[in-house]
Amino acid sequence: MNSTIIGVDTGGTFTDFALVRAGKVWTYKISSTPEDYSRGLLRGIAALLDEAGAGKFNLVHSSTVATNTLLERKGAKTALITTKGFRDVIEIGRQTRPELYNLFVERPAPLVPREARYEVAERVSAEGEILVPLKVAEVKRIVARIKKSGFESVAISLLFSFLRPEHEQAIAAISQKAGLAVSLSTEIIPEFREYERTGTTVVNGYVSPVMRKYLSKLSVRAVELGADKIRIVQSNGGSLSTHGAGRDAVHTLLSGPAAGVIGALSVARQAFPKKAENLKLITFDMGGTSTDVSLVAGDYRVTSESVIDGLPVAVPMMDIRTVGAGGGSIAYVDAGGALHAGPRSAGADPGPACYGKGKEATVTDANLLLGRIDPENFLGGRMKLHADRSRSALEKLASRLGTDARKAAESVIRIVNSNMERALRVISIEKGYDPREFTLVSFGGAGGLHACDLADALRIPRVFIPRNPGVLSAWGAVSGNVVKDFSRTVMAPFGKGAGRTASVFSALCKTARVVMEDEGFSARTVLFERKLDIRYAGQSFELTVPYDGGLKNSGKLFHEEHLKRYGHCSKKSPMESVTARLRAVGFLEKPVLEKIPAGGRSPEKTAINRRGKMTIYKREFLRAGNVIIGPALIIEDFATTLLPKGWRIKIDAYGNMLASKS
């Protein structure tokens, strides 16, 4: 096994790197190259290898390729083949409105226009009986039309195919022979609910060809640099091979944010070993373009009910809330005179005004003008910031508000904090969790500048700022396991369906063993985690609980979870087993942080200057046991932490900072 591992997280503004070898860690950050993300990624790897003196390495990459492809609508030209009478499922959707009281809300256009949706005369019943056989000649005619029309990819989703996949497999064989990229619903999400299943399959067909091309080019160039193995982080927190990521790119839509949560959980478990299995964390990742927040109660939460840019994505993903609030979020005044910050971002190019190209004021410019960022130490001094350009941009903004630049900057900070506070409330209070019982884990280049203010607003008692917070998502990429999720709809009465439920899990385990062997794991080294979706008969939504091979304990857990989630349960009501879920985990060796030298309570030789009443410290000189009293700034190469008055920070044995009220 290669002893050198490089984790890479590509973001909209910066690309982060963490190289781990023999217990030592090297970090790096470089501006992203949106026109070709692999260019900046490879340049950063080369610089990091040179600094660490490393040769061969394994690469784990959290990628935004699939996400950007979907958001920018730059995916492959995709057709849909479905059962006769069901081609409009992805457009009809469900009778739910994104904004209940907005009469003018517009739904996003389907990824596949109506003329590119093809119907085949086949039919499978809800019990899995073939009512109308598939006509091969008809399929060949449809595939020939799709190919002639210049389509690159085809999504195949037939009614009740999760019960009888033969028809989808036959269509796939004909499509592949014609040279089309194929996405099968029975492989992507073999579950009921036609809208979500078809929509998710279409998303995969739309983004996978783009991801495949990116990974193909990246792999060739990375191997030239010395890459041995390359893996891609999935939205569920695990990683998979480049082959798997290129085929099923829908599983990588939250790749970057998921890596951040894994990194936060990894570092927190090392820092708090006695609470490692029962941690209560709220992760707060503020980068240049967006902010991602998630809640950890013992472990991170996974959902199969995500919506991305208005489109259903029903594969297992971390439960992460993303808002357009980052360092590069542009501040502007609307037609009514109200000030906003985001969601539009200056990105990597032109970037905030202080980067030297942009002209519009951003959150980073506001922080710089307020003295919260040291312009001489940004990116370790490799990137000089232009404070005069920030002031000029904020003065223009202030003139529209009828105030001065400083007050405008303070207003921008208040607004962006309010946007992020709402996101934190959604994933905690609105899900039935009390923020006062949690620790806020702050990371990302800009997170430390806002974390204590947000903790104050939500009465969160502690803020944990890990070592190397600016590149924590890259650390998370190398800290994860290989994880594959499998599912299949059961749909049976709870008690009477025990045999059917057990049979479905048995089939899932058999499939999982084969897949994990392809990923390089023997059956003895894979952990299977079984869960079951259960609902009361007549309900439309389910709750997911552990399954230990029998239904008794699962039923008990379902009642408890229903009581916790909705405030009531009905133990005498009939229940249904809906969907069996299996998670296969292949464990990889985890990197750990080395301890730092110990020091006294008072930091020695760490203050580099004072700015008014604020003392500025360089984090690299802090020692375990040091205590810092706010107001203060703690600067490091790729992040800055603002410690307000009334707060204090203590440095732990691994160089992490734990902030709390004095």
Query: So what's the pLDDT on residue 2?
Result: 59
Q: Report the chain's mean pLDDT, rounded to a whole number.
A: 92
Write the single-letter amino acid at 145: R
Query: So what's the pLDDT on residue 13?
Result: 81
Q: What is the mean pLDDT of residues 437-447?
A: 95
User: Any idea which of 64-68, 133-137, 474-478 has the lowest mean pLDDT?
Assistant: 64-68
**Structure confidence at residue 99 as a pLDDT band (50, 70, 90):** confident
Q: What is the pLDDT of residues 483-524, one digit of tens each?
A: 999 999 999 999 888 899 999 999 999 999 999 998 889 878
Query: So what's the pLDDT on residue 612?
Result: 67
Q: What is the mean pLDDT of residues 435-464?
A: 96
Going by the DSSP 8-state scheme, the letter that residue 590 receives in this structure is P
Q: What is the mean pLDDT of residues 531-557?
A: 93
| The CATH number of domain 482-586 is 3.30.1490 | yes
Query: So what's the pLDDT on residue 592?
Result: 87
Query: So what's the pLDDT on residue 591?
Result: 87
Q: What is the pLDDT of residues 313-333, one digit of tens each?
A: 999 999 999 988 889 999 999
Q: What is the pLDDT of residues 271-281, one digit of tens each?
A: 999 888 889 99
Instruction: Between 536 and 68, name the one with better pLDDT.
Output: 536
Q: What is the pLDDT of residues 602-627, one digit of tens each?
A: 887 666 666 667 889 999 999 999 99
- Most confident of the following: 1-15, 191-205, 367-381: 191-205
Query: 593 pLDDT exceeds 60?
Result: yes
H helices present in 11-121, as ranges = 37-52, 65-71, 89-92
Query: So what's the pLDDT on residue 607?
Result: 66
C-alpha span between 34 and 263 (Å, rounded): 24
**Structure confidence at residue 362 as a pLDDT band (50, 70, 90):** very high
Structure pTM?
0.91
Query: 54 pLDDT exceeds 80?
Result: no
Query: So what's the pLDDT on residue 636?
Result: 92
> Do 4-70+212-252 and 262-325+416-478 share a fold?
yes
Query: So what's the pLDDT on residue 548?
Result: 92
Closest CA to 47 of 61, 27, 32, 63: 27
Q: What is the pLDDT of residues 550-582, one digit of tens each?
A: 899 999 999 999 998 888 999 999 999 999 999
Query: So what's the pLDDT on residue 609?
Result: 63
Query: So what's the pLDDT on residue 565?
Result: 84
What are the extents of the domains in the chain? 4-70+212-252, 74-210, 262-325+416-478, 329-412, 482-586, 607-661
Fold annotation for 262-325+416-478: Nucleotidyltransferase; domain 5 (3.30.420)
**Size of the chain, expressed as the number of residues it contains:** 662
Are 424 and 448 contacting, i.e. CB atoms less than 8 angstroms apart?
Answer: no
Fold annotation for 4-70+212-252: Nucleotidyltransferase; domain 5 (3.30.420)
CB-based burial label for 430 (10 Å; 0-12, 13-18, 19+): exposed
Q: What is the pLDDT of residues 335-344, one digit of tens each?
A: 899 999 988 8
C-alpha span between 385 and 372 (Å, rounded): 13
φ, ψ (nearest 5 deg) of residue 58: -100, 140
C-alpha span between 527 and 531 (Å, rounded): 13
Q: What is the pLDDT of residues 615-661, one digit of tens each?
A: 899 999 999 999 999 999 999 999 999 999 999 999 999 999 999 99
How far is the CA of 436 from the CAs of 76, 132, 398, 455, in angstroms?
Answer: 46, 58, 36, 9
Query: So what's the pLDDT on residue 497?
Result: 80
Query: So what's the pLDDT on residue 33?
Result: 87
Fold annotation for 74-210: Rossmann fold (3.40.50)
Place of tokens 């993303």: 322
Query: 376 pLDDT exceeds 90?
Result: no
**Structure confidence at residue 310 as a pLDDT band (50, 70, 90):** confident
| Residues in a beta bridge with 15 | 10, 30
